[in-house]
Amino acid sequence: MPKIETDLLVIGGGATGVGVAWDAALRGFRTVLVEKRDLTHGTTGRYHGLLHSGGRYVVKDPHSAEECIRENRILRKTHAHCIEDTGGFFVVTPEDVNAYPDQFQAACKNLGIPCEEISLRAALQREPLMNPRAARVFVVPDGAADSFQATHSTAQAAQIAGAQILNYHEVVALIPAEGDPARVVGARVRDVARGEDVEIRAALTINAAGAWAGVIARTAGVTVNVIPGKGTMLAANHRLINTVLNRCKMPDDGDIIVPIHTVTVIGTTDEKVQDPEHLTIEPWEVELLLREGDKLIPGISQARFVRAWAGVRPLYQEHYAGASRDATRDFVVLDHAARDGVAGLLTIIGGKWTTFRLMAEKTVDKACEQLGARKPCSTAETPVPGVEHGHYWLGHRLREVEQNHLQSELVCECELVTRAMLENAARNNPTLTLDDLRRDVRLGMGPCQGGFCTYRAAGILHELQVQNSQSKIQDPNTWHVADLQSPARNAKLEIGNWKLGVGTPNLLLRDFLQERWKGLLPILWGRQLKQERLDELIYLALMNADHLPDEDAVSPMSDFYSRRGISTTADTEARDA
């Protein structure tokens, strides 16, 4: 069994876990991060994209509001290229006329959150689709954040500082010390790509698995009662607004609309669930979001919606048993030595995306206490790679395409993804599925939801495989889809125990289409239903995608895809028989 020795083992590749790895590496700790899938596969990649000003919490949770505005200002410097400076409106709709707006304004002033009331006329000049019957409008420094890009940039910064990032390494169990079961000394993880176990020994293990933190803790005999609050969101097919719109009332379902990249997101519900892995979007949730969205933007319910999805908030409140909507949004670092008598283990839980850097700082501060080190945090003053480009600007891809005449190079017209962007992402980031590339470059996230770009992307990856067929895998911990095939070896290249061949692109294609389908099913009406019918004709009637050969893509890849609900050819033939 391969073994790794390190100072800190971080479990979880969301914003918080990657932030911990970055902070720890900058402080000089040898750091290894493991993530069971791709970075941002969990909650970080499934939220509405809001950079909080704190306005949402000023009345209900002022401590969280203070943290948000402080981190808002820091992230605008350290992660500027991941943030669009949209600003935000808190809108008093006809249903919201009560004492709350005055409380909101006073609370913002007390907490130092910039808040200016403007006239309805001025607000409508800026956002003409906003409800013209609004009574009052307040401006706050909200923003839109790209959590995918921010996490990858943070991971890159962590690697530059010396951290090791291991995607597709799933924790099997935490390891107790020999002769001392009350001390954790690392974890045994499953390398999904190679089908082998790896033992990672660490002086301290940090559980940053978010909604899955309780699952990890249980392997060490520790109970962490996560409050999993499911939030459902809908994306309209284009940007109806350029400013974040919030209802000026106590936080509730469907009270925020966020412009993020090329779409407009209505969010969110908050339902307590049992399993963060398997989420069902109910019809009533979609109807509720559409109905509430109309109160901020009349008629938005008639827009074309391209996707519905849900994420799980990893909330934590000791001994709390109520609704997830009313649970605190604060975060806590659990010292399991003091709390449970189990040394060598910390859990960071709660919080929100906007405060991920602060959460990481407090966690590594506690790690320093545990390890007897005095190393100050520097992440608040350290920019990640990419900030030199300044704040995100929506038109940057279109400008690049037009200036460089790249129209013929477009793989995804909806999101203006060029062939070069796709190839660079495949080469530079550990990639197992096309969905990993989606998180990198927004492949298939537009109105056609992969209808035209999926087969193009699969073909490009196949070409990269052929081009790289003679090259060696230099670093076995950062292998790429482009390395998975070698015609010189009978169309198969062995990585560990994983033999892959020409069937691999077919599995990639089917997997991506299946992932897109999950988010389409709840919103199949009108133009999006017509679009999906076209996609069905392309892939099933024309390409016969559900029967493409993949028998040479053997275990563990076939096992990996079967657990994701993607049938292999053998599975399909057995079912048809």
What's the chain's Rg over C-alpha atoms? 24
What digits encode the pLDDT tens for the residues 15-67? 999 999 999 999 999 999 999 999 999 999 999 999 999 999 999 999 999 99
Return the CATH fold of 55-60+78-142+227-316. Answer: D-Amino Acid Oxidase; Chain A, domain 2 (3.30.9)
User: What confidence tier does 481 reach under pLDDT thresholds 50, 70, 90?
Assistant: very low
User: What confidence tier does 546 reach under pLDDT thresholds 50, 70, 90?
Assistant: confident
**Where exactly are the structural domains of the chain?**
3-43+148-225+328-381, 55-60+78-142+227-316, 396-576
Q: How far is CA 478 from CA 32, 74, 84, 131, 507, in A?
A: 13, 31, 31, 50, 21
Cβ atoms of 11 and 221 closer than 8 Å: no
pLDDT at residue 408 tops 70 = yes
What digits encode the pLDDT tens for the residues 353-379? 999 999 999 999 999 999 998 899 999
Token pair 């803790």 is at which residue? 217
Residue 305, classed as helix, strand or coil, is: strand
* Angle at the Cα of 565 from the Cα atoms of 560 and 570, rounded to 5 degrees: 80
pLDDT at 504: 75
Token pair 């033992």 is at which residue? 199
Give the torsion sign (CA, 322, 324, 326, 330): positive
Domains 3-43+148-225+328-381 and 55-60+78-142+227-316 equal at CATH topology level: no
Is 84 exposed, middle or buried (CB count within 10 Å of its CB: 0-12, 13-18, 19+)? buried
More confident call, 56 vs 546: 56
pLDDT at 478: 40
Q: Average pLDDT of 417-436?
A: 87
Q: Average pLDDT of 436-454?
A: 95
Range in 231-240, 245-254, 421-430 the model is least confident about: 421-430
Q: Distance (Å, rounded) from C-alpha 165 to C-alpha 91?
A: 42
Cβ atoms of 174 and 345 closer than 8 Å: yes
Q: Give the pairing type, strands 256-260 and 263-267.
A: antiparallel
pLDDT at residue 222 tops 80 = yes
pLDDT at 553: 55
CATH number of 3-43+148-225+328-381: 3.50.50.60
pLDDT at residue 220 tops 90 = yes
pLDDT at 337: 97
